[in-house]
Structure 1
Amino acid sequence: MEEIQEEFLEQEEEESILSKNLISSRYNAPFRSTRMHIQRSNVCSRAYFVVVMVFFHVYILNVIALLLYVHYNNGPGDLVSADGDASAPVRDSRSRLPQPAPPSAGKLHDEEDYSQSFSLHRIEGIRVGHIQQVSIVPERTHEMKTLSLKPLLFEIPGFLSEEECRVVVQLAQLKGLMNSQPLTPSQGQESNQPLLSFSTEEVFSLLDLNQDGFLQKQEILSHSRSRDGTWLSPDSLRQILTGLEACLTGMLTLGDFRQVYDVSHQPQQQRSGKLHTHFKQRSRHTWLYQGPGSHHVLQTLRKRVMGLTRLPSSLVELSEPLQVNRYEPRDFSSSHYDSSSSLPETTCAHTRLAGNTSALTEVSCRYLTVLFYLSSAEDGGETTFPVADNRTYDEQALIQDGVDLTDTQQTCGKGNLRIKPTTGTALLWYNHLSDGRGWMGELDEYSLHGDCPVRRGVKWVASSWVNVDPDHQQQARYQRLVAQRHQTKSGMEDQYYPLSHSDLHLDL
């Protein structure tokens, strides 16, 4: 029995040893394979890391090369401001006017494609009282406050330093000031003055160039302009041409002309029921050129206007020169519009080089106005916007209790918004609405404004207008024509010399 028990115990020990070996073999095999797997993974991850780093460095080099290519291809002027400081805001690419390319093979780009490739930047007003930060000069930001939404009007304190204001005033005095004249009909204001002192028969005879007793359309259009602005106002021409189109023969006899002419010279209030007052102004003014060769303060001022408005330099540089006005005690200007409504029979004065020769009259087309206060009047001299932010606009509402709100001499205190002149402050407002496609739309009737009489002291102001033709194709043709005439011959195809406006605005 003892031998049998010993054999049984030995068998159990052998079985336990075998089972332990089997279990250890089962656990050891995966452990070894796991270690081998870890080693292989380390090798793969190390190679993967090397490949990723190589591609990353190649990508960085490609980005640097692309930036260098863009920089040297477009020129440094596209990446920094015109002042040469990188801190100035970069203009939105959507607002860049494409620089007209010189004609190749005698053929220009298609006007439709050309005109659709750019738009006008427009600052958002948000709400009345909203303040936004703008970067106009290096290492400084300005606060721009929204004063009204109708029209879109902003105030920027400290736009100019006192020293810069003093320099502009001195330059204006050196240039010489002239008495400001009321706007003529060619500048968007109707006139109720009689046509010189001629009778209806004498006017008919003057218009009848071939003296055949009939007036044709071309004969009327040939007399559509005069130097004094009183020869056939745009409204009179519209009435006469309407009467001409009603005639089956396409010609006007003396009897037909007498009826049409007498109607066209009735008071404006009786014909349309709308109010049209004479523009009145009493001040002294001059124009200061801001292009190459001008005083550096004037050039700096124009560059700041570009930075503030974010409009293309080629557009701003081809606009009117800077107008400086001096208002002495009792000087004023009645409420008026800086720009004009777009009508089929009118053309913009600044694009007359590429203008429609059949247009009846030329008008001022000013997308926006930037007004600079060069001094602070001791008393009076506020800039007034009589209908700013009105719920609706109605010309009849300008007459209240028999008083004309456009008469700033009598009713300046009744305007909705008055801004006291402060040295160095700038005002920016848009004279036109947007057409919904990024271009200049209808005249904003709420932009009606004037200057209250100065009661004590002297007020100096400067006005910078940006001229834009409501017809973007016309503006494109004008830009292209100027580019062809004033392009430099040094190989810099994008460099332009500003067009002189001395022959365009002598009567302003």
Structure 2
Amino acid sequence: MAPSQRLSVFCVVALGCFAYACLAKEHDHADMYKEPAKGEGHCLKEDADGKCLEEPEEVPRLDGIAVGFYRTLAIEAEETHFMKTLSMAPLILEIDDFLTSKECDHLIKMAKDQGLEDTINSAATSPKERIHVSDFNSDGQLDTNEMRISLEDNFDVYLCEEDVLNVYKELRMDTNGDNLISKAELDEVTLSNFRDFVLHYVNEHPVCQPRRSKEAKIAINGTKDGVFAKIEQRILRALRLRNAAVETDSELLVMKFEQEGHENAHIDSAPILERLPCCHKTDSEVCRDCRYATVQLHLSNVEEGGEAAFPVANNDTYSPKDLRLGNKRNLRKFCEESNLRVTPKKGKAVIWYNHFPSGDTGEVGEIDDRTWNGQCAVTKGEKWLAKLWININTYVEPEPEPEEDDVEETEEDPKPE
């Protein structure tokens, strides 16, 4: 059998170093949560002599003040909203009754009219010439936890130890029965057999999928839907992002979660990579997400389960390696271990920033790697959810605030009983 047909070339040193190189980049963003560092600045427009005529502004970001802090928003005539800080690291904000019941029903109807489709795990179905394995301790063999993470990285599937042992049994991989897979044992399995069985196993056990839901991606660029346009403006005004350089993503994602429906933890945006342009700034398919903020709109109540989960919110310290090894990304199985869980409620908005500002460059800065988020499994009933992402082009002077856009800030809960 040709080497290219084997499951993997088991290079312990290279793979071990590769795994730790990816995991060991742990950031301490404490300073950024307090005061973003100023950049050198850029010029948007120069005169003939090279003098700067127009400079970008720092990308706006609300100050959460402290966990439990309430901000009173008067962003619409005769309508008051209360914004609560749920987390400072990352900054997560909650607004009850942000949408009316009719607005929620309207977005659901838009999704139904377009048609909902089962979520597709593209990572699992894409062709692979080889599979990279994660031998964290470089001992030349994979324990069940290392194999679990290898499967997550290659196929975006989420197995527990029992599932991994079933894979070993069905493929007859563990020839000596020690629950460890050596290089020799791994080389006896072909890539195609391994991939096909993993996909078959996940199809038979859909709870192992990274997300189990139905969804509709609704094109919203240039939409003439008056209800959505009103919601969009409400979002931008709540975040004080009312400028031509700010835009929402081209699609509104509406999701329906039925029994056991879930979404495992992930980060909504991507780190800064100079060689890759932001997807909203290019027509190229080779790009990266640059989603400054995420707006999650809860469109229904849920009988049981279905909380929005943030596994590492408000952590004093954060280790990407520990998050992976501890399996806390698997919210279908370990939802209760998340640091922050937000109960779904019809009309509620949950908002967080995926990136820090970058000072006065007018661009988004480093990604906030504590923004792991997902949805716990629905245990009774169903759940409807919409997601909208905020993109930033180079930010220029914001428009003046209208008089009715006053904001009152208080540490006390201002909501009437």
**Are 1:384 and 2:309 matched, yes or no?**
yes
Query: What is residue 119 of structure 1 aligned with on the other side?
Result: 58
Structure 1: 5+ residue stretches without partners: 1-99, 102-106, 185-190, 199-264, 477-508
**Pair 389,112 (structure 1): closer, same or farther in 2 beyond 3 Å:** farther
Q: Could you say which structure has the higher helix fraction? A: 1
Describe the superposition over 1:298-334 as per-residue Cα deviations: whole angstroms up to 9, x where unpaired: 1111111111111134244463222111111111111
Distance 1:329 1:422 in 2: 17
Higher RCO (CA < 8 A, seq sep 6+): 2
Query: What is residue 329 of structure 2 aligned with on the other side?
Result: 406
**Pair 161,343 (structure 1): closer, same or farther in 2 beyond 3 Å:** same
Larger Rg: 1
Q: Could you say which structure has the higher strand fraction? A: 2
Query: What is residue 314 of structure 1 aligned with on the other side?
Result: 244
Equivalent residues of 1:152, 1:429 under 8 A apart: yes
What amino acid is aligned across from residue 297 of structure 1 in structure 2?
V
Distance 1:166 1:370 in 2: 18
**Are 1:267 and 2:119 matched, yes or no?**
no
**Are 1:431 and 2:349 matched, yes or no?**
no
Q: 1:177-216, aligned counterparts within 5 Å?
A: 177-182=116-121, 196-197=128-129
Query: What is residue 86 of structure 2 aligned with on the other side?
Result: 147
Give the drift of 1:115: 7.8
Q: 1:251-266, aligned counterparts within 5 Å?
A: 266=132
Equivalent residues of 2:256, 2:385 under 8 A apart: yes
**Are 1:452 and 2:376 matched, yes or no?**
yes
Distance 1:135 1:146 in 2: 17
SS at match of 2:347: coil
Query: What is residue 212 of structure 2 aligned with on the other side?
Result: 282
Distance 2:347 2:49 in 1: 44
Describe the superposition over 1:205-262 as per-residue Cα deviations: whole angstroms up to 9, x where unpaired: xxxxxxxxxxxxxxxxxxxxxxxxxxxxxxxxxxxxxxxxxxxxxxxxxxxxxxxxxx
Query: What is residue 174 of structure 1 aligned with on the other side?
Result: 113
**Are 1:302 and 2:225 matched, yes or no?**
no
Distance 2:355 2:74 in 1: 25
**Pair 363,109 (structure 1): closer, same or farther in 2 beyond 3 Å:** farther
Distance 1:111 1:465 in 2: 36
SS at match of 1:388: coil
What amino acid is aligned across from residue 287 of structure 2 in structure 1?
E
**Pair 318,373 (structure 1): closer, same or farther in 2 beyond 3 Å:** closer
Equivalent residues of 2:58, 2:358 under 8 A apart: no
Q: After the TM superposition, which segments of 4 or more aligned residues of structure 1 sit over 6 Å from their partners? A: 107-112, 271-276
Q: 1:348-367, aligned counterparts within 5 Å?
A: 348-353=278-283, 361-367=286-292
Match of 2:297 among 365, 372, 393: 372
SS at match of 2:61: coil
Match of 1:133 among 72, 95, 105: 72
Equivalent residues of 2:313, 2:371 under 8 A apart: yes
Match of 2:104 among 159, 162, 165: 165
Give the drift of 1:118: 2.9
Query: What is residue 323 of structure 1 aligned with on the other side?
Result: 253
TM-score, with structure 1 as normaliser: 0.51
Equivalent residues of 1:320, 1:467 under 8 A apart: no
SS at match of 1:169: helix
Distance 1:195 1:109 in 2: 53
Distance 2:273 2:50 in 1: 21
Describe the superposition over 1:45-96 as per-residue Cα deviations: whole angstroms up to 9, x where unpaired: xxxxxxxxxxxxxxxxxxxxxxxxxxxxxxxxxxxxxxxxxxxxxxxxxxxx
What amino acid is aligned across from residue 388 of structure 1 in structure 2?
A
Give the drift of 1:109: 9.5
Distance 2:92 2:371 in 1: 9
Distance 2:88 2:298 in 1: 21
Q: 1:219-234, aligned counterparts within 5 Å?
A: none
**Are 1:461 and 2:385 matched, yes or no?**
yes
- Alignment: residue pair count: 288
Query: What is residue 440 of structure 1 aligned with on the other side?
Result: 364
Query: What is residue 319 of structure 2 aligned with on the other side?
Result: 394
Describe the superposition over 1:342-374 as per-residue Cα deviations: whole angstroms up to 9, x where unpaired: 123322111114x7xxxx931211000111100
Describe the superposition over 1:450-503 as per-residue Cα deviations: whole angstroms up to 9, x where unpaired: 11011111111111101236xx4xx89xxxxxxxxxxxxxxxxxxxxxxxxxxx
What amino acid is aligned across from residue 353 of structure 2 in structure 1?
Y
Distance 1:380 1:446 in 2: 23
**Pair 153,333 (structure 1): closer, same or farther in 2 beyond 3 Å:** same
What amino acid is aligned across from residue 460 of structure 1 in structure 2?
W
Give the drift of 1:168: 1.1
Query: What is residue 179 of structure 2 aligned with on the other side?
Result: none
TM-score, with structure 2 as normaliser: 0.62
Give the drift of 1:112: 10
Give the drift of 1:183: 6.2
Equivalent residues of 1:345, 1:361 under 8 A apart: no
**Pair 393,116 (structure 1): closer, same or farther in 2 beyond 3 Å:** farther
Describe the superposition over 1:81-139 as per-residue Cα deviations: whole angstroms up to 9, x where unpaired: xxxxxxxxxxxxxxxxxxx99xxxxx999999588323311100000000011122211
Point out the more displaced range, 365-374 or 309-318: 309-318
RMSD, aligned α-carbons: 3.3
**Pair 382,115 (structure 1): closer, same or farther in 2 beyond 3 Å:** farther
What amino acid is aligned across from residue 390 of structure 1 in structure 2?
N
**Pair 389,115 (structure 1): closer, same or farther in 2 beyond 3 Å:** farther
**Pair 379,125 (structure 1): closer, same or farther in 2 beyond 3 Å:** same
Query: What is residue 343 of structure 1 aligned with on the other side?
Result: 273
Structure 2: 5+ residue stretches without partners: 1-43, 139-145, 158-209, 397-417
Query: What is residue 168 of structure 2 aligned with on the other side?
Result: none
